[in-house]
Chain A
């Protein structure tokens, strides 16, 4: 079996010990790597019902069979844990040298349990583990932490670090590697709860592939295609180019989802940012796309994506470019998820304007208010910032009144920059997502931006098609490759099977990978069921179901609870789940998930 070490490294911070645990070929073939294998490991290594910030909770760094091969964009890793924001499974991806060095350290995954007695760094070198004190790093921002670790350990080591937000258990804190973040769901808080400032990896243990000649051929072919038109958007403008498009289609969330267009959108547009502020274009290790566009702010240069731009700009009613760029840079350094940070501040702005929250006169468009709040949130400096560090769901419950109706989250995870009422297939994707409102695990928006569906009127047919986008995401996040490559494949499952055959030597087919993808999606669901999921969670905040949205023509875009439920029912049916969204024994058997379903309270249904 090529592509794997066939083991994971289990590190117990309580005792400071580590041991290898074998991973059978059966498990690896069923779950591949990345989020798939991470999900399997979390089922086994995190106790049912665990508090995500308890020392017993597991934090999983998971590599993949493709890491270390010359295949473009394959230098990626997944981080998986129970989220302190959603209390459900959370998986987030990041990229570059940490993935390469992590896999060379000798394992297919790192499972970290327990907690250190004092701030520490975990150092893994060719499988040898040591824990070193890091009191002098505690309190430092992510970029400075990375810089000091580089000086202390040298260039062979690569680090995943937390900023002040992770240390202070902000429920949407990130884990950062070279300023690329495993961003969503508060994984940085899980690491902070273990008093781990950083995980460092280095090693020399390369893994052979089954058919080196074929892998090199495939790598050349994929690289060649990655230079082509399917990825031109990412190279030429980056994802920030979404902003004006979404604005034109009334799909740009503005002022906490009260509008779908922002009057200052032109000023913030990717097109104008590129003309006025772009200073460089960069790429992850092993990537031939180069999607990262770097912009200048008055506080330094910052990488900006659409999601950060929307959340810290229009969602907060802010049109000042420099404020948005500085806020994004601040989030990166503090280790705050830009989407949740922007959404939480936007929510606080609306609460303040409505008189529900005393927040020093905070209002939409208050750039200085945003820049003042972010560092306070990251360190929970006062009552207001401590409240907002909890995320919108918990904050809304504490604020009371009708605040929960417009707190912009699903399962606790704040919505990304897709307006659900004018992108109604995406509305379904948000409602049923295993980690909450999520644009990376469901690509349902692809259907809204197509001739296949009517984006203003969701339908059961669109719901069924949305499962395909989830399946593709589950596979690409488990192999792992970058989603920005997806446009270069003509037959994604067949070509993925070819890549995996070359690397692993398995006689694997497109059909098997389709089943693998379905298995991974349902495995996540089973984890959530074990942790208390019911179908009442698969919904949207009341605002989206009760308030229409202007679309610039005669009729408003509306999404009713009934029409959303019709899509959810169709989605459950397409997944093969029961009408209440639970997973039947028969499906557990069909998908070979029995080892994950032992504690599924609904397995006899």
Chain B
């Protein structure tokens, strides 16, 4: 089965580490999408905690409209997933 095509936009620390603004991957869930990003940019391996959940220093937003932390959240083709540094203050 073909998995949906997802664009992951990178901001802040994720962009600096990956050296790119966005990555296009095939993934059915948020967790799968992140795993694909880590394959492209191993420097982002700490996006996952040891238990497989999202590390607290990262945030994920679906199309800039809704923050998500559930890595089983399903994705549809054309979705844009934003990977951000946490801690907005400053």
Contacts and interface: CB of A to CB of B under 8 A. Distances in A.
B89 to A, nearest CB: 6
B13 A233 contact: yes
A230 B12 contact: no
Interface in B24-66: 46, 55-57, 59, 61, 64-65
Contact of B90 (A307, A449, A450): A307
A305 interface: yes
A233 B57 contact: yes
A232 B68 CA distance: 21
B12 A270 contact: yes
Interface residues of A, number: 41
Contact of B64 (A249, A443, A484): A249
Contacts, number: 92
**Of A229, A241, A307, A487, most B-chain CB atoms within 10 Å:** A241
A230 B46 CA distance: 11
Interface string A508-548: 00000000000000000000000000000000000000000
Contact of B88 (A245, A271, A451): A245
B13 A248 contact: no
B23 to A, nearest CB: 15
A232 B89 contact: no
B57 to A, nearest CB: 5
B87 A233 contact: yes
Contacts of B11: 241, 244-245, 248
Given A451-B69, A487-B57, A245 B84 contact: yes
A274 B88 contact: no
B51 to A, nearest CB: 15
A234 B68 CA distance: 23
Contacts of A418: 88
Nearest to B55: A229
Nearest to B65: A553
Contact of B12 (A271, A305, A446, A456): A271
Contacts of A229: 46, 55, 57
A437 to B, nearest CB: 14
A445 interface: yes
A443 B88 CA distance: 9
Contact of B85 (A245, A305, A445): A245
Contacts of B64: 248-250, 552
A241 B64 CA distance: 17
Nearest to A241: B12
A236 interface: yes
Contact of A449 (B13, B17, B86): B86
A356 interface: no
Interface string B70-90: 000000000000101111111
A270 B10 CA distance: 13
A44 interface: no
Contact of A248 (B55, B82, B85, B87): B82
Interface string A482-519: 01101100000000000000000000000000000000
Nearest to A275: B16
Contact of A446 (B17, B84, B88, B90): B88
Contact of B68 (A250, A270, A451): A451
Contacts of A214: none
A242 interface: yes
B29 to A, nearest CB: 16
Interface in A444-460: 445-446, 449-451, 455-456
B86 A487 contact: yes
B34 to A, nearest CB: 15
B13 A237 contact: yes
Interface of B: 9, 11-13, 15-17, 46, 55-57, 59, 61, 64-65, 67-69, 82, 84-90
Given A250-B64, A306-B90, 5 more contacts: A230-B57, A233-B87, A234-B90, A244-B12, A487-B87
Closest A-B pairs by Cβ, 3 of them: A239-B90, A241-B12, A233-B85
